[in-house]
């Protein structure tokens, strides 16, 4: 099969690898129909040390089940399915509590930008899609694999409810889908902090009521002025330390900072002046998107939401290296791979 490999920062190649095979009775093999490049794929694109054996890439995909182990009962050969970016048994204590990314058997996909992929724990991971491979809904359904569920996780962990004032930090695909999710959960006012107009325009379309382009102290002051002292729910969808500091600066006393941007820092202020003194809650983490697929799919199928709008470019598998470059240059927000 053809597959995407990264050999070093900036060095992405599409090469031929042996087809994956079923290794355990709970495995399935899926022929990928749609995959995509994630913002987090850009981290190794920036700093991966050179390596002789390339590293397979990609964790978001939907496709056709091509083979299934003897223990797989939930899906069958020929089904069109979407996978969560993590695989899990979906039956353990942590899965039942809705923290699938802490499943006792959890793993994370890293080979989805390819023609075929092996799916461990297929019954806990794959969800059948009630459409065909010619459906116009495929881009939106693909967002269930990660970015939509991740934006939704931010809003859920912040307990966004009807009438809320919410601030979203970051205008990447996750931030924009956090806006969409907050809107779905009834937020009345949604302030989007971002400064790429094409992206914040999509944020407005998704339900943002205000856009704040300023950063740092200036951005904090603007949001505090807009909200008369801060937003009760802050969704942080960036992961860099300045975004954390921004969240602390704009959150209202008694409020929540819900993080889904993977922290690129270890320590940060949590003392009296930042969190403790105002009874701020800090939560979030890797989204248990498997928990949300059933909940979010109906809105896509009935046309209520169109999260697939985050894809502003589509490429073939052979064009994936250029897709990385386009996202890194911020020419593209998120690139779909159609196989």
Residues near a copy of itself (CB under 8 A) are 94, 97-99, 101-102, 157, 244, 253-254, 259, 262-263, 265-286, 288
- Nearest Cα residue to 84 out of 73, 99, 71, 67: 99
Whole-number minimum distance, CB 101 to a copy of itself, in Å? 7
> For residues 147, 302, 164 and 220, what is the CA-based torsion angle, rounded to 10 degrees?
40
Task: Give the residue with the Cβ less far from a copy of itself, 25 or 277.
Answer: 277
Neighbours of 163 (CB within 10 A): 9
In 196-250 the beta strands, taken as DSSP E runs, fall at 210-212, 231-236
Whole-number minimum distance, CB 274 to a copy of itself, in Å? 7
Whole-number minimum distance, CB 124 to a copy of itself, in Å? 16
Task: Give the residue with the Cβ less far from a copy of itself, 109 or 311.
Answer: 109
Contacts of 9 (CB under 8 A, 6+ apart): 44, 45, 46, 47, 48, 49
Task: Give the residue with the Cβ less far from a copy of itself, 189 or 278.
Answer: 278
Whole-number minimum distance, CB 264 to a copy of itself, in Å? 8
Whole-number minimum distance, CB 252 to a copy of itself, in Å? 9
SS3 206: helix
Cα separations (Å) of 184 from 161, 208, 212, 299?
9, 11, 21, 10
Parallel/antiparallel/unpaired status of strands 61-68 and 28-36: antiparallel
- Nearest Cα residue to 82 out of 138, 148, 127: 127
Instruction: Give me the residues paired with residue 119 across strands.
Output: 28
Question: Which helix (H) or strand (E) is 301 found in, with range?
Answer: helix 290-301
Determine the angle formed by the axes of helices 216-226 and 241-250, rounding to 10 degrees: 30
Whole-number minimum distance, CB 230 to a copy of itself, in Å? 11
Whole-number minimum distance, CB 202 to a copy of itself, in Å? 26
Q: How far apart are CA 76 and CA 254, in angstroms?
A: 48
Whole-number minimum distance, CB 238 to a copy of itself, in Å? 13
Whole-number minimum distance, CB 257 to a copy of itself, in Å? 9
Q: How far apart are CA 78 and CA 46, in angstroms?
A: 38
Q: How many CA atoms lie within 13 A of 58 on its CB side?
A: 34
- Nearest Cα residue to 99 out of 294, 320, 285: 285
Task: Give the residue with the Cβ less far from a copy of itself, 206 or 244.
Answer: 244
């Amino acid at each position: 099969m053809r597959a995407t490999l990264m050999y070093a920062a900036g060095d992405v190649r599409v090469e031929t690898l042996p087809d994956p095979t079923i290794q355990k009775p709970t495995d399935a093999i899926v022929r990928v129909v749609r995959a995509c490049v994630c913002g987090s794929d850009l981290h190794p694109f920036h700093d991966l040390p050179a390596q002789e054996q390339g590293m397979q890439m990609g964790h978001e995909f939907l496709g056709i089940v091509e083979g299934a182990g003897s223990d797989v009962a939930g899906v069958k050969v020929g089904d069109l399915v979407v996978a969560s970016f993590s695989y899990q048994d979906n039956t353990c204590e942590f899965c039942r509590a809705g923290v699938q990314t802490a499943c006792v058997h959890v793993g994370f996909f890293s080979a989805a930008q390819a023609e075929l992929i092996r799916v461990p724990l297929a019954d806990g991971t794959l969800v059948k899609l009630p459409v065909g491979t010619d459906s116009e809904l495929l881009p939106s359904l693909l967002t269930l694999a990660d970015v939509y569920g991740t934006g939704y996780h931010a809003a859920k962990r912040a307990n966004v409810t009807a009438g809320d004032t919410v601030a979203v930090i970051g205008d990447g695909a996750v931030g924009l889908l956090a806006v969409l999710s907050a809107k779905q959960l009834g937020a009345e006012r949604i302030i989007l902090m971002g400064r790429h107009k094409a992206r914040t325009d999509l944020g407005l379309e998704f339900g943002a009521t205000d856009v704040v382009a300023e950063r740092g102290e200036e951005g904090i002051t603007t949001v505090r002025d807009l909200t008369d002292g801060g937003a009760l729910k802050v969704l942080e969808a960036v992961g860099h330390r300045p975004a954390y500091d921004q969240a602390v600066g704009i959150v209202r006393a008694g409020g929540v900072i819900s993080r889904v941007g993977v922290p690129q820092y270890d320590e940060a202020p949590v003392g009296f002046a930042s969190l403790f003194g105002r009874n701020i809650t800090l939560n979030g983490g890797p989204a248990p998107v498997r928990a949300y697929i059933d909940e979010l799919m109906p809105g896509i199928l009935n046309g209520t939401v169109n999260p697939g709008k985050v894809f502003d470019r589509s490429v073939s598998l052979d064009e994936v290296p250029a897709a990385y470059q386009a996202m890194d240059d911020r020419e593209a927000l998120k690139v779909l791979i159609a196989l």
